[in-house]
């Protein structure tokens, strides 16, 4: 490029720079000072309109969200099919080795022997003194009557027949008859003998003239006033009772109860210590025998009582001893994994979680364990499985319900839903707590929930 051309370009750039500088220094005309109104921008008005419209839409959306309500209908259940569970065993496995159908526990055992000492407190009246008295024996025969050793007299007392022994042999003189020209007189022979009751106690006391029979050794009884013998007696007294200490069944039961109570407490401490050493805890529902069962004789060995029931004791030393042995058994478990809680898992798993579940498709299952008890190797349960079919709710009810509930009060909505429940169309429902339901059916959602077995 030639020099004149380059110089021309440089000069042109300088002139352009001066023109730009002049334009930058030229102030903008003051339209306000000139009194001319400023023209509004057309796009600004459209922006404000769009913002207002957007705000309205957001407000409507927020209003709809706040008013929207969901009502859940619980379908009814059909007639349940009951499958009994009788003496079903669930094996017990060691801690950490149980599968989904086994009970995880450890069996513990402890034998406790207790000797309890107590005092016999029962006092009973025991026969002590024997009744003594005299009997007048009158002989109406003309020959003497011998009363040898072993002769007895029988009287009628308040408690029945009372027998008295002759204290010493005696002879009753014969009757003597004296005759004159004008009369005949007979004097009966008589003798008064001392007697002692054969048995001690107040039952041998009798009143006046209570003796009715004479009994001679080797002969039959001779009744009073039979034309041969007349018996007369004053009151025969002296029989008595004395209160004595005796080992009774009541004392035995009281001492046994105290011994079993101590055995139970010691057994529970021993079993709890065994469980703690294994970092486990005992399941109190598996204690065998339980506190209630402990009163049954078959759960403990024959208790040894010294002295035996019926022994009369010296009041100054009425001590007795009872020795009893009891074997306690219990299952130890991990914390918060009781046998009862494990059954709630293994029972459904066994009968509903396998390849051949008892309840069919569409049926709801409920498991009830009415009773269970431990054995040496398993937990045995008795109960039932209820398989209840879930009935459908008509689609028309679900679809029409929003229109029926739009704008009504909560009380009116409750009344309508209760009517459906009374008709058996639904078994229950959940209704949000609001004074008024939404005014539009589009804001009410009705869904069908899952039925549950009560």
* Cβ-contact 123, 245 below 8 angstroms: yes
- Which of the four pLDDT bands, split at 50, 70 and 90, describes residue 435? confident
Q: Is the pLDDT of residue 5 over 70?
A: no
Q: Of 62-71, 350-359, 405-414, 415-424, which range is least confident?
A: 62-71
In words, the CATH class of domain 106-122+246-333 is alpha beta
The domain spans of the chain are 106-122+246-333, 129-239
Cβ neighbours of residue 405 closer than 8 Å, sequence gap 6 or more:
71, 413, 416, 437, 441, 444
Give pLDDT, residue 7.
Answer: 53
Rounded Cα distance, 200 and 130, in Å: 4
Q: Is the pLDDT of residue 33 over 60?
A: no
For residues 84-106, give the mean pLDDT. 93
pLDDT in tens, 400-417: 999 998 889 999 999 999
- Which of the four pLDDT bands, split at 50, 70 and 90, describes residue 240? very high
Q: Which of 251, 243, 242, 241 is nearest to 309 (CA)?
A: 251
Which of 29-33, 293-297, 385-389 is most confident?
385-389
Q: Is the pLDDT of residue 45 over 80?
A: no
Q: Is the pLDDT of residue 376 over 60?
A: yes
Rounded Cα distance, 424 and 400, in Å: 17
Give pLDDT, residue 437.
Answer: 86
Query: Residue 73: how many CB atoms within 10 A of its CB?
Result: 22
For residues 35-56, give the mean pLDDT. 65
Rounded to the nearest 10 degrees, the angle between the axes of helix 410-422 and helix 395-405 is 160
Q: Of 59-73, 128-142, 389-403, which range is least confident?
A: 59-73
CA distances from 281 to 40, 42, 153, 276 (A): 86, 84, 76, 6
For residues 161-186, give the mean pLDDT. 90
Q: Of 53-57, 97-101, 442-446, which range is least confident?
A: 53-57
Q: Is the pLDDT of residue 361 over 90?
A: no
Q: Is the pLDDT of residue 11 over 90?
A: no
Please give the structure tokens belonging to residue 49. Answer: 């309109």
- β-pair type (69-74, 444-448): parallel
Residue with the larger pLDDT of the pair 452 and 92: 92
pLDDT in tens, 246-267: 999 999 999 999 999 999 999 9
Q: Is the pLDDT of residue 35 over 60?
A: no
Specify the DSSP element, H or E, that contains 57. Answer: helix 42-67
Give ∠ CA 151-155-161 in degrees, rounded to 5: 105
For residues 37-53, give the mean pLDDT. 65
- Which of the four pLDDT bands, split at 50, 70 and 90, describes residue 61? low
In the three-class reduction of DSSP (H, G, I as helix; E, B as strand; rest coil), residue 440 is classed as: coil
Residue with the larger pLDDT of the pair 249 and 7: 249
Q: Of 220-229, 282-291, 364-373, which range is least confident?
A: 220-229
pLDDT in tens, 180-227: 878 888 899 999 999 999 999 999 999 999 999 999 998 889 988 887
Query: Residue 68: how many CB atoms within 10 A of its CB?
Result: 13
- Which of the four pLDDT bands, split at 50, 70 and 90, describes residue 15? low
Rounded Cα distance, 110 and 270, in Å: 7
Q: Is the pLDDT of residue 387 over 50?
A: yes
218: alpha, beta or left? (left if phi > 0; alpha if psi -120 to 50): left
Give the sign of the dihedral formed by CA 191, CA 194, CA 199, CA 205. positive
For residues 113-124, give the mean pLDDT. 92
Number of H helices, E strands in the chain: 6, 25
Q: Is the pLDDT of residue 332 over 70?
A: yes
Give pLDDT, residue 190.
Answer: 94
Residue with the larger pLDDT of the pair 400 and 16: 400
Q: Is the pLDDT of residue 29 over 70?
A: no
The percent of residues above 70 in pLDDT, for the chain, comes to 87
Omega of the bond prior to 289 within 30 degrees of 0, cis? yes
* Cβ-contact 333, 283 below 8 angstroms: yes
For residues 20-41, give the mean pLDDT. 50
Beta strands in 128-218 (DSSP E): 130-139, 145-147, 152-157, 160-166, 170-172, 176-179, 184-187, 189-200, 211-215
Q: Is the pLDDT of residue 26 over 90?
A: no
Give pLDDT, residue 3.
Answer: 42
Question: Scanning the structure block, which residue is given the tokens 């029988």?
Answer: 154
Rounded Cα distance, 212 and 224, in Å: 5
């Amino acid at each position: 490029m030639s020099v004149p051309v380059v110089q021309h370009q440089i000069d042109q750039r300088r002139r352009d720079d001066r023109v730009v500088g002049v334009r930058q220094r030229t102030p903008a005309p003051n339209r306000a000072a000139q009194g001319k109104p400023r023209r509004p921008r057309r796009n600004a008005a459209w922006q404000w309109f769009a913002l207002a419209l957007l705000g309205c839409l957001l407000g409507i959306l927020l209003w709809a969200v706040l008013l929207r309500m969901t009502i859940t209908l619980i379908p009814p259940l059909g007639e349940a099919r009951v499958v009994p569970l009788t003496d079903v065993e669930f094996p017990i496995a060691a801690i950490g080795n149980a599968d989904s159908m086994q009970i995880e526990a450890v069996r513990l055992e402890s034998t406790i022997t207790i000797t309890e000492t107590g005092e016999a407190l029962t006092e009973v009246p025991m026969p002590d003194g024997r009744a003594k008295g005299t009997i007048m024996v009158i002989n109406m025969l003309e020959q003497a009557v011998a009363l040898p050793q072993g002769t007895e007299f029988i009287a009628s007392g308040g408690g029945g027949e009372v027998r008295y022994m002759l204290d010493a042999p005696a002879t009753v003189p014969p009757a003597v008859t004296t005759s004159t020209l004008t009369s005949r007189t007979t004097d009966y022979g008589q003798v008064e003998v001392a007697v002692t009751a054969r048995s001690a106690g107040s039952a041998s006391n009798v009143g006046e003239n209570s003796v009715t029979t004479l009994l001679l050794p080797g002969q039959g009884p001779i009744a009073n006033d039979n034309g041969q013998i007349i018996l007369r007696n004053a009151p025969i007294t002296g029989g008595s009772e004395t209160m004595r200490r005796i080992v009774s069944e009541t004392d035995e039961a009281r001492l046994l109860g105290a011994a079993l109570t101590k055995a139970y407490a010691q057994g529970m401490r021993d079993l709890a210590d065994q469980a703690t050493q294994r970092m486990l805890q005992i399941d109190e529902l598996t204690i065998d025998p339980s506190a209630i069962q402990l009163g049954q004789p078959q759960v403990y060995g024959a208790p040894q009582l010294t002295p035996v029931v019926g022994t009369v004791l010296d009041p100054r030393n009425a001590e007795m001893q009872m020795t009893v042995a009891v074997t306690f058994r219990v299952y130890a478990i991990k914390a918060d994994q009781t046998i009862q809680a494990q059954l709630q898992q293994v029972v459904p798993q066994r009968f509903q979680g396998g390849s051949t579940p008892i309840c069919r498709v569409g049926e709801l299952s409920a498991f009830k364990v009415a009773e269970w008890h431990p054995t040496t190797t398993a937990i045995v349960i008795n109960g039932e499985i209820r398989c209840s079919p879930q009935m459908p709710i008509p689609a028309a009810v679900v679809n029409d319900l929003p229109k029926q509930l739009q704008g009504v009060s909560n009380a009116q909505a409750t009344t309508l839903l209760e009517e459906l429940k009374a008709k058996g169309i639904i078994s229950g429902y959940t209704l949000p707590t609001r004074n008024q339901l939404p005014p539009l059916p589009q804001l009410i959602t009705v869904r069908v929930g899952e039925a549950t077995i009560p």
